Structure 1
Amino acid sequence: MFIHPDARDVADPVPASLRAARTVEETGLPFLFLVELLVKVLFQRGQLHLPELASYVKLSLVVIDPVISFMRQEKMCEVTRRGASGTDADIHYQLTDSGRQRALECLARNAYAGPCPVPLAAYNAQVAAQSVASMHVTRADVQANFDGIAVNARVLDQLGSAMNSGRAIFIHGAAGSGKTYLAERLSGLLQGSIAVPYAIMVDGEVVPFYDPVLHVPAGEAQQVNAGIEKTVQLDARWVRGVRRPAVLTGGELTLDMLDLRFDSVTRLYRAPPHLKANNGIFIIDDLGRQRCSPLELMNRWIVPMDRAIDFLSLHNGYTFQVPFDVVVVFSSNFLPERLSDAAFLRRLGYKIEVPALSESEYEQVFAQTCARYGVAFDAQAFRYLLHQLHYRCNVALLACYPRDLIRQVRDLARYEGTAMVLNDTVLEWAWNNYFAGASQRSGSDNKTAQERREPTTIMKSEEMR
């Protein structure tokens, strides 16, 4: 689904922000913060020798050496043993009693004890350098990404143009029309790779950032990194060669999830989903079905979408600015005007309706679904589905129905212990399960008006008696 970085990534020079720090000052972090971080790491991981400690916090030996020296002078750590090589790098360290006490005090404030963070300013600069707005999506890109998928050509043109606009996209249509699938598929149009930090430091607090579920390395980029590392030492606090993220949220989304949250139990921050989606795509699915009102949710996005910035707050009340560099995609069963006011709708660059499929598109989806579930496509059975079920019951040709109906055909075959065969009987059986007997009710429409009134008349007569 994702497009790997192209040859241009290989030739890109390594920016200064991604070069390894050679001194404590070059890390952009306070000396005492590094002391507290190493204290917490040694407390949680026990006895370590210098290379292990440096590898874990993603700093070079020359950076952490003065920090360790200070900790030894202050009696926070001690040497337990020396390795066979007899070098300083092979010395094993552990905390003293006073060091463990210091670690407990630090963990009570913020329990983060992972890779060293990068300063907020460095993160903001890097997001700007790898902005998603720099992408250029062409018709060829769209056709390649949606190859073999039955999608209305007009909708594809709208989606492709919208990805170049830098503005929010609102996709709407009937439930089951394929809105969510199309929105997720847009992530395949994201080009190139990015660098993301393990964590960000804001006003002395650490916000964990890197999420291995969302920030997936691109294979080719790893080879590129290997080549660069032979000539330039990279800052290991950044994960390079990451695919542009695609973050999906749905009906579970609440307003507080869009803020920076601090867990008082774990003593750790949790970055909001749209922050992790920076330089990528952020999809809000099922808009209008969240526990908060659509108007409240949309008002939350007015400033970020208008100015490409957002404001977050630490648990101590400190407010700071972060970039909002994402392609925002809203997906909803409701029309845009039903969910918000003119002020918000004006900020939606594209309002794209996903219509029902045409017969040829529906047949393509149905045939592909049959192939996926291992049942032979039958043209006569498909015509029966169209004319005797869809049209007779006045049900639109939506993209979700082939999958849902074929699954029921599969379930019946498993139950009866027979091969999956597509015919009129099993399709009507699946249809009546899925639509609660819609075909049977449709057949009763041929009764005369007098026949349809009789049961009601009889019931009323008996009630009167």
Structure 2
Amino acid sequence: MIEQQPTTPLHRLPTAANAGDPAPAEAAETAQPQPWHVAPRTVADTGIDITMLASLLMKAAYLYRDVTLLQLAETLRLPGSVIGEIATSCVRERLLEIAHRGASDLDVRYRLTDAGYARAAELAARCSYAGPAPVTLDAYLEAVRRHSVRQASVSKADVAAVLGDMVAAPHVVDEAGIALNASAALLLYGPPGSGKTFLARRLRELMPGAVPVPHALTVAGEIIQVFDPLVHVPFDEGTNPGWRRGADRRWTICHRPAVLTGGELTLDMLDLRYDQVAGYYQAPPHMKANNGVYIVDDLGRQLVGVSELLNRWIVPLDRGIDMFTLHSGVRFSVPFDVWPVFSTNLEPSALGDDAFLRRLGSKLYIGPLAEDDYREVYARAAHALGLHGADEVFRFLLDGLHLADGIPLLACIPGDLLKLIDSARRYHGDPPRVTEAALRRAWQAYFGREAGDGMRWRSGERTARR
């Protein structure tokens, strides 16, 4: 599962001062923000061989057959001057011809020749990628380095501003913020339903800053798609229009990414995925999460063994890099620049030996809620569903159901029970009200048994079952 990164007050555009460039504080306050990477003016400025750029242009023209220079510039995310240089090369090779030329340099329409159409069809069959031009591996490495997650820092006030509405023991959010500042892996453990996944999803809101994400990068002539709309949420450039002017549009300025994977995770998913039909690669989830947070939920429920899965991360956690291999045999490394958050129902000792547990950094136990916190979660869930009378039967929920069955006050239970009550009352056409009978029916449906350990709640007191 991959989930999107929400907008939070902590997200801010990096400037020369906070992106790793030395700059006086006074200048940082008054200077207009500069794009991280300026737009190329020539093919040489792109760092990409003109043969690859020409193949992308041909495939883009293949989609239209008759295409304008502006359409090509928008598809490849390159300036008109660069597109013109590539197109001129294709015209010389008689793969393109100029169908129309207006008064403006940008008012040009191209048409594939018969030879060009055949070449474009061949190129598309070999590799169907026809989107924004890729960036070089060196450019990507530099971008990740300059916007490293290790530069992210939060204070207690920042955490309170982002997670202040979350019902949790104060030490829980404090420890999470400390782990982020240390750039150390965080292991959340505790019983199922205690709220570990919910906390992990909220922790990603702590990630400050905005980072450039390339649509794709090229290694040894192959294309690796990095940008994923399910992961990368573009920053609102309207709040800082100066950021976009003059910027290389092969990069998109995004909130720091957050990727969540769960029980579906396999070892294969952690490597480059080559699509035999499409002819190009997809970056693995932790590479898409670079400069952000990578959450592994339900550790221990994957099809692959825990030890095998964790051994896969020993080198990335230790050295901060990961190695990949193309199908051609070319090997290359990329940064493992993420804040790793693991969530598990297992005890830490069941995950590995002391040497590996040391690499997991901070361990944070998430257990049952205190009664007051449980009441708050219950009240919020009832309010969200528009249910009345919930407070009147709260004591029955505690003593008549939880205590009678020996079920701890887990954070997931109130919302799940009240959703069942709301579904049943809508089905039967009943008023939106929580009653003892409704709670008991929801409890029986939720746990698959009647509540009670030989005791029955009736009229506010427990009596022995007959």
Normalised to the residue count of structure 1, the TM-score between the two structures is: 0.90
How many residue pairs get aligned? The number is 442
Deviation digits for residues 112-169 of structure 1 (CA, Å, limit 9, x no counterpart): 1111111010011011111111111111111122222210122122111111111111
Aligned match of 1:3: 8
Alpha-carbon distance in 2 for matches of 1:205, 1:402: 51
- What residue number does 1:227 align with? 242
Which segment is superposed worse, 407-416 or 67-76?
Answer: 407-416
Aligned counterpart, 1:268: 280
Instruction: Provide, for residues 296-348 of structure 1, a one-character-per-residue CA deviation record: whole Å limited to 9, x for no partner.
Output: 11111111111111111112121111111101011111112112233321101
Whole-Å separation in 2 of the counterparts to 1:364 and 1:87: 65
Distance (Å, rounded) in 2 between the aligned partners of 1:29 and 1:268: 17
Q: Is the 8 A contact 1:309 1:323 kept in 2?
A: yes
User: Per-residue displacement from partner, 1:359-411 (whole Å, max 9, x unpaired)?
Assistant: 00000100111101111244341011111211121100000000111112112
Partner SS, residue 274 of structure 2: strand
* Residue of structure 2 equivalent to 1:238: 251
Which is further off, 128-137 or 144-153? 144-153
1:199 corresponds in structure 2 to 216
Contact 1:367 1:377 in 2 (8 A): no
TM-score by length of 2: 0.90
1:397-443 deviation line (CA, Å, top 9, x unaligned): 00000011111211221122111222222211211221222415543
Please tell me the residue identity of whatever aligns with 2:239.
Answer: Q
**How far did 1:8 drift?**
6.2
Q: Following the alignment from structure 1 to structure 2, what is the Cα–Cα distance between the partners of residues 357 and 90?
A: 66
CA RMSD of aligned residues (A): 2.2
Alignment of 1:422-461 (within 5 A): 422-443=434-455
| Structure 1 position 383 matched with structure 2 position 389 | no
Q: Which runs of 4+ in 1 moved over 6 A?
A: 12-16, 444-448
- Alignment partner of 1:209 is 2:217: no
SS of match in other structure, 2:332: strand
* Partners of 1:364 and 1:294 in 2: CA distance: 35
Aligned match of 1:19 in 32, 38, 43? 38
Give the superposition deviation at 1:75: 0.8
Instruction: Give the drift of 1:111.
Output: 2.1
Cα 1:20–1:426 shift into 2, 3 Å? same
Aligned to 1:218: 235
Cα shift at 1:200:
0.5
- SS of 1:89's partner is coil
Looking at structure 2, the residues matched to 405 and 446 of structure 1 have their Cα atoms a distance apart, in angstroms, of 24
2:344 maps to a residue whose letter is S
2:292 alignment partner, one of 280, 291, 296 = 280
User: What CA distance in whole angstroms lies between the structure 1 residues aligned with 2:84 and 2:13?
Assistant: 38
- The Cα of 1:290 is off from its aligned counterpart by 0.6
CA displacement, residues 200-237 of structure 1 (integer Å, 9 cap, x when unaligned):
01111111111122111232x4331x2245xx511111
CA shift for structure 1 position 13? 7.1
**Which residue of the partner structure matches residue 49 of structure 1?**
68
Alignment of 1:221-370 (within 5 A): 221-224=237-240, 226-229=241-244, 232-240=245-253, 242-370=254-382
Matched, 1:174 2:191: yes
| 2:124 matches 1:103 | no
Q: Which residue of 2 aligns with 1:93?
A: 110
With 115-124 and 100-109 compared, the bigger mean Cα shift is at 100-109
- Which one-letter code corresponds to 1:96 in the other structure? T
In the aligned structure 1, how far is the partner of 2:36 from the partner of 2:424?
60
> Which residue does 1:460 correspond to in 2?
none
**Which residue, out of 174, 192, 201, partners 1:184?**
201
Query: Any unmatched runs of 5+ in structure 1?
Result: 452-465
Deviates more, 1:142-151 or 1:116-125: 142-151
Partners of 2:146 and 2:455 in 1: how far apart? 63
Opposite residue 317 of structure 1, the aligned amino acid is G
Give the stretch that moved more between structures: 299-308 or 49-58.
Answer: 49-58
CA distance in structure 1 between the partners assigned to 2:153 and 2:159 by the alignment: 11
Could you give the per-residue CA deviations for residues 51-71 of structure 1, whole angstroms, max 9, x where no partner exists?
221222111122122221111
Distance of aligned partners of 1:233 and 1:16 in 2 relative to their CA distance in 1, 3 Å threshold: closer
Cα distance change on mapping 1:214 and 1:182 into 2, 3 Å: same
Please name the residue that 2:131 is paired with. Answer: 114
87, 90, 97: which one aligns with 1:71? 90
Among 147, 150, 154, the alignment partner of 1:133 is 150
The C-alpha deviation readout for 1:256-309, integer Å capped at 9, x for no partner, is: 011001111222211101111011101011111111111111111111111111
Q: Distance in 2 between matches of 1:433 and 1:255?
A: 37
Contact persistence 2:293–2:340 (CA under 8 A):
yes
Cα distance change of structure 1 residues 381 and 266 upon mapping to structure 2, 3 Å threshold: same
1:371 & 1:187 partners in 2: Cα distance?
Answer: 26
Q: Quick check: 2:152–2:181 contact (8 Å CA) kept in 1?
A: yes
After superposition, residues 387-402 of structure 1 pair within 5 angstroms as 387-402=399-414
Q: 1:161 aligns to what SS in structure 2?
A: helix
Q: What does residue range 135-150 of structure 1 map to in structure 2 within 5 Å?
A: 135-150=152-167
The answer on whether the counterparts of 2:270 and 2:286 sit within 8 Å (CA) in structure 1 is yes
- Counterparts of residues 35-46 of structure 1 (less than 5 Å): 35-46=54-65
- Tell me which moved more, 407-416 or 15-24: 15-24
Contact 1:190 1:244 in 2 (8 A): yes
Q: Select between 95-104 and 182-191 the one with higher mean Cα deviation.
A: 95-104
Is the 2:36–2:212 contact (alpha carbons within 8 Å) kept by the matching residues of 1? no
| CA 17–153 in structure 1, closer or farther in 2 if over 3 Å, else same | closer
| Aligned equivalents of 1:87, 1:188: Cα separation in 2 | 47
| One-letter identity of the residue aligned with 1:280 | G
Conserved in 1, the CA contact under 8 Å of 2:307 and 2:352? yes
SS in 2 for 1:285: strand
CA contact 1:165–1:349 (8 Å) conserved in 2: no
Q: Which amino acid aligns with 1:227?
A: G
**Structure 1's 216 and 18: CA in aligned 2 closer, same or farther, altered over 3 A?**
same
